[in-house]
């Protein structure tokens, strides 16, 4: 598929905003997506944070594999990083975060000549739940949230009940995503605007990953049968009645299965068929199918899936 890169002007401006506010804050909360703990750590943000105290929130823990998230937390903690798993939808993990913030507050005030409540900045790539976390911490719906990247536009200071101050910032990426696997992971998780890539291509890549690592989940969600069996079934209880179905699947050139397993395209066509995503002329609506599969992954309907495994990232 084409290269994934998204760095509009507002991200450059936000980068400058983060930089200019860095000296004002005592601590940075970097929110990352627990399904992609490597790809969602923006190297530019790490650079801007420098040696400033930092807490990493692995958010959306309700969507990632629990054992994998636990392993990531152990790994990050072993590297002397404070890392906390959270679910900002239910609020799970946020009281642990508040405890860490209180500790940081005490630490700051024990070393400075005058006391004042902690000032913090929340940063991260788009759509990881920064504003949702702010709403949890302030116990108000003060920050606007939404299930697409680029919801927060400008900076916004918020005050917690205990007087601590928090700066919400828009999500940012970096100018050139060199590792395209990271680019795809960010796109699967909704951190990249859907309009900038071909969603059908992206879905095929996602299905390739699912067939390799989580075939059972994919089969379960979309009620897929192994390719050979489904062909037989098609004859028995075709949802298309007695009509000729030969023109239904794709271009008829690309194989739908290989070695008894679906190809990504074969799986996509089967999903489209099961869900009835067929346009006039019996053409498969690939785009609708792609949007559905990715939306269902993003909202956890396919299952709790971590895309990046801690044991494969030894040097992080």
User: For residues 58 and 66, is the Cβ–Cβ distance under 8 A?
Assistant: no
Binding segment for Mg ion (CB under 5 A), chosen from 4-12, 15-23, 95-103, 149-157, is: 149-157
Single residue of 37, 129, 183, 227 touching ligand GTP by CB under 6 A:
129
Under rule CB under 5 A, residue 131 binds Mg ion:
yes
The minimum distance between CB 170 and Mg ion, in angstroms, equals 6
Token pair for 277: 């995503």
Region 187-246 residues binding ligand GTP, contact defined as CB under 6 A? none
If binding is defined by CB under 6 A, does position 130 make contact with ligand GTP? yes
Which of Mg ion, ligand GTP, none interacts with 126 (beta carbon under 5 to 8 A by kind)? ligand GTP
- In angstroms, the Cα distances linking 241 to 225, 234, 236, 289 are 19, 10, 10, 22
Closer CB to Mg ion, residue 151 or residue 278?
151
What SS3 state is found at 84? Answer: strand
Q: Which residues of 126-144 are buried (b: 16+ CB within 10 A; e: fewer)?
A: bbbbbbbbbbbbbeeeebe
Tokens of 177: 């995503």
Burial of residue 244 (number of CB atoms within 10 Å: 0-12, 13-18, 19+) = exposed
Element (H, E) at 174: none
Q: How many residues bind ligand GTP (CB under 6 A)?
A: 25
Residue from 1, 151, 217, 249 binding ligand GTP (CB under 6 A)? 151
For 38, the token pair is 């490597």
Q: Which of 21, 40, 64, 152 binds Mg ion (CB under 5 A)?
A: 152
- Asked if residue 266 binds ligand GTP (CB under 6 A), the reply is no
**Interface ranges with Mg ion (CB under 5 A):** 130-131, 151-152
**Interface ranges with ligand GTP (CB under 6 A):** 59-60, 62-63, 87-89, 124, 126-132, 145-147, 149-152, 170-171, 300
């Amino acid at each position: 598929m084409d290269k994934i890169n998204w760095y509009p002007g507002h991200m450059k401006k936000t980068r400058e905003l983060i930089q200019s506010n860095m000296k004002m804050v005592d601590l940075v909360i970097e929110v990352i997506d627990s399904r992609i703990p490597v790809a969602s750590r923006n190297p530019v943000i790490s650079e801007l944070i420098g040696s400033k105290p930092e807490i990493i929130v692995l958010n959306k823990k309700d969507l990632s594999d629990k054992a994998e998230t636990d392993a990531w937390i152990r790994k990050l903690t072993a590297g002397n990083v404070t890392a906390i798993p959270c679910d900002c939808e239910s609020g799970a993990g946020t009281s642990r975060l508040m405890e860490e913030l209180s500790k940081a507050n005490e630490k700051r005030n024990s070393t400075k000549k005058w006391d004042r409540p902690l000032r913090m900045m929340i940063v991260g790539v788009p759509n990881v739940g920064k504003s949702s976390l702010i709403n949890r911490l302030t116990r108000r719906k003060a920050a606007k949230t939404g299930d697409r990247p680029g919801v927060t536009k400008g900076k916004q200071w918020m005050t917690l009940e205990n007087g601590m101050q928090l700066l919400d910032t828009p999500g940012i990426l970096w100018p050139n995503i060199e590792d395209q696997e990271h680019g795809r992971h960010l796109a699967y998780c909704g951190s990249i605007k859907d309009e900038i890539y071909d969603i059908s291509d992206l879905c095929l890549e996602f299905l390739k990953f699912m067939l390799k690592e989580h075939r059972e989940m994919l089969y379960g969600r979309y009620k897929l049968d192994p390719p050979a069996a489904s062909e037989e079934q098609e004859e028995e209880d075709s949802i298309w009645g007695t009509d000729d179905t030969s023109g239904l699947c794709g271009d008829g050139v690309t194989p739908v299965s290989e070695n008894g397993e679906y190809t990504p395209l074969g799986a996509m066509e089967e999903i489209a068929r099961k869900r009835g995503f067929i346009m006039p002329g019996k053409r498969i609506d690939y785009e609708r199918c792609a949007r559905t599969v990715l939306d269902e992954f993003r909202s956890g309907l396919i299952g709790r899936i971590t895309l990046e495994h801690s044991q494969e990232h030894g040097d992080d």
